[in-house]
A and B are shown apart, each in its own frame.
Chain A
């Protein structure tokens, strides 16, 4: 028997985005630290900040769990929250997706 069957999977969104370019150096930069609220994540980000500060004194850090409390959530953030984070004008953001 020959079966003519409709594909139940369909296509996936065919977009292609290129990540934003990194800065040439970290000197004088502002680094955002974004934490989703899961245990261990904040500690990891604080340690990264310490290591970066040791390496590059003068770095500024935005701890988003303080600056944008809505950013601490175990699921994807609303666009408005992402914009609030971007409005702090970080040069880079490190996100913890700890689980």
Chain B
């Protein structure tokens, strides 16, 4: 819907085909983008995964409506909606009443939270040296919510954050506004996508962020609180809620709580992720990445780097329909696997190259519509790629799209986060 709104802004009238299951999301998104009435032609869901003849039949049935939207349709009169929003509310009763009120307003998923009292939010704001009314994110999709520093502090308070976590949250908020973060896509997609926040640098020790055993398991307060705070920003401020705005087919707990981990820098035999990407070793960095649920690479038997890589390649060689685009996937090596590989002389570049060459799957897994869609296409590495090819395809477009970190504690379980999509890094500035 965003694309049609942008074209309309440029004076180009549009008609958008929307399936019945996504009609409500389309309306909400369009309204949030400032165009509450937009020409949409609704077609029975689905449009994908059905024979071409069925698609054509649906279009023919909808054609009178499509024609009307192209010619005679006029938008309903609208006027700018000034929506006064109270900065605070008053609730009388016990904390249970607070939870009921927040749940009724859509400000809570029903999970426990800490009531964002004025005193608590003021306390959180001591962690940021900026005016409380400053807009730190002007348009959190899909609702296009306005995130002020105060609103961020309220979400942070609810999640159990402390003032010292605010610079990390601000770094994440800044990163997610980059188009390459794929945030808006992640917030509304049907895919099982969530956000992963990777932290590097001295702030790991300063905040006692977890990087070892159970780092992502939500038992460590800083990690859990930061992920939950951003989750509340997404759901409450951004309105990314199922079933109408967040269309994730099944979703996962990370949809609300995200993945927040520190890289295990002390057990990383190579350079850290942040240093590898141009940051200084004394700089604190947060990286956001859109991820799918990970694959557990449980290798307890390989004693050599070569054997381990061979095993990893076979664990991660799964197709992904957008794999030919230049977008990253994430391999989180556990310290023991990292030590095995580094001990046998493997660098990150060598690992990437090996996996790009060997973690492959047959092109024939894609049905013809995927080829017609152009999702799978020939490129410089595969100039003869076409429907019917017997070639084996890599999991990403190029080796450098395989991002590698070291995370977790003792044990021989690495993790691969598939789904090549958005990655953005930002400095964490404690002076903000």
Q: Is A82 in contact with B7, judged by CB distance below 8 angstroms?
A: yes
**Residue in A4, A19, A47 whose beta carbon sits within 8 Å of that of B117 in the complex:** A4
**Residue in A18, A37, A65, A86 whose beta carbon sits within 8 Å of that of B10 in the complex:** A86
In angstroms, Cα B154 to Cα A3, docked, is 14
Secondary structure at chain B's binding surface: helix, strand, loop or mixed? mixed
8 A Cβ contacts from B32-53 to A: 32-39, 43, 45-50, 52
A30 CB → nearest B CB, Å: 11
A15-B80, A19-B39, A98-B17 known; A8-B155 Cβ under 8 A: yes
**Residue in A16, A25, A47, A78 whose beta carbon sits within 8 Å of that of B34 in the complex:** A16
A20-B11, A98-B17 known; A6-B369 Cβ under 8 A: no
Q: Is B7 in contact with A10, judged by CB distance below 8 angstroms?
A: no
User: Could you say which residues of chain B place their CB within 8 Å of the CB of A14?
Assistant: 80-83
In angstroms, Cα B150 to Cα A14, docked, is 19
Q: Is B47 in contact with A98, judged by CB distance below 8 angstroms?
A: yes
**Residue in A34, A39, A79, A99 whose beta carbon sits within 8 Å of that of B373 in the complex:** A39
**Residue in B72, B85, B138 whose beta carbon sits within 8 Å of that of A7 in the complex:** B85
User: Could you say which residues of chain A place their CB within 8 Å of the CB of B10?
Assistant: 82-83, 86
Which residue from chain A places its CB closest to the CB of B186 in the assembled complex?
A: A75
User: Could you say which residues of chain A place their CB within 8 Å of the CB of B1?
Assistant: 97
A50 CB → nearest B CB, Å: 9
Kindly state whether residue B179 has any CB partner on chain A within 8 Å.
Answer: yes
Interface residue ranges, A against B (CB under 8 Å): 1-26, 31-32, 34, 36-45, 47-48, 51-52, 55, 65, 69, 72, 74-79, 82-83, 85-86, 90-99
**Residue in A23, A52, A93 whose beta carbon sits within 8 Å of that of B7 in the complex:** A93
The 10 closest A-B pairs by CB, nearest first: A15-B34, A40-B47, A39-B48, A98-B47, A75-B185, A8-B154, A16-B80, A10-B151, A76-B2, A39-B369
User: Could you say which residues of chain B place their CB within 8 Å of the CB of A47?
Assistant: 55-56, 59-60
B40 CB → nearest A CB, Å: 9
B160 CB → nearest A CB, Å: 14
**Residue in B5, B33, B47, B322 whose beta carbon sits within 8 Å of that of A74 in the complex:** B322
Which residue from chain B places its CB closest to the CB of A32 in the assembled complex?
A: B12
A62 CB → nearest B CB, Å: 11
Q: Is B37 in contact with A19, judged by CB distance below 8 angstroms?
A: yes
- Interface 9-residue window, one of B86-94, B164-172, B408-416: B86-94
In angstroms, Cα B9 to Cα A85, docked, is 13
What are 15 pairs between A and B in contact, CB < 8 Å? A5-B88, A5-B98, A5-B117, A7-B86, A10-B147, A31-B70, A40-B47, A41-B48, A45-B17, A48-B63, A65-B374, A94-B16, A95-B17, A98-B17, A98-B48
In angstroms, Cα B67 to Cα A25, docked, is 11
Which residue from chain A places its CB closest to the CB of B1 in the assembled complex?
A: A97
User: Could you say which residues of chain A place their CB within 8 Å of the CB of B232?
Assistant: 8
Q: Is A96 in contact with B17, judged by CB distance below 8 angstroms?
A: yes
Q: Is A3 in contact with B12, judged by CB distance below 8 angstroms?
A: no
8 A Cβ contacts from B114-161 to A: 115-118, 121, 138-139, 143-148, 150-151, 153-155, 157-158
Q: 12 other contacts beyond A10-B147, A43-B55, with CB at 8 A cut-off?
A: A4-B88, A7-B89, A10-B151, A11-B146, A12-B144, A22-B13, A22-B71, A37-B375, A74-B185, A93-B13, A94-B70, A97-B22
**Residue in B7, B16, B85, B151 whose beta carbon sits within 8 Å of that of A97 in the complex:** B16
Which residue from chain B places its CB closest to the CB of A92 in the assembled complex?
A: B13
In angstroms, Cα B15 to Cα A91, docked, is 12
User: Could you say which residues of chain A place their CB within 8 Å of the CB of B59?
Assistant: 44, 47-48, 51
In angstroms, Cα B81 to Cα A34, docked, is 30
A4-B118, A5-B88 known; A99-B19 Cβ under 8 A: yes
In angstroms, Cα B374 to Cα A59, docked, is 26
Q: Is B90 in contact with A95, judged by CB distance below 8 angstroms?
A: no
**Residue in B47, B78, B81, B322 whose beta carbon sits within 8 Å of that of A44 in the complex:** B47
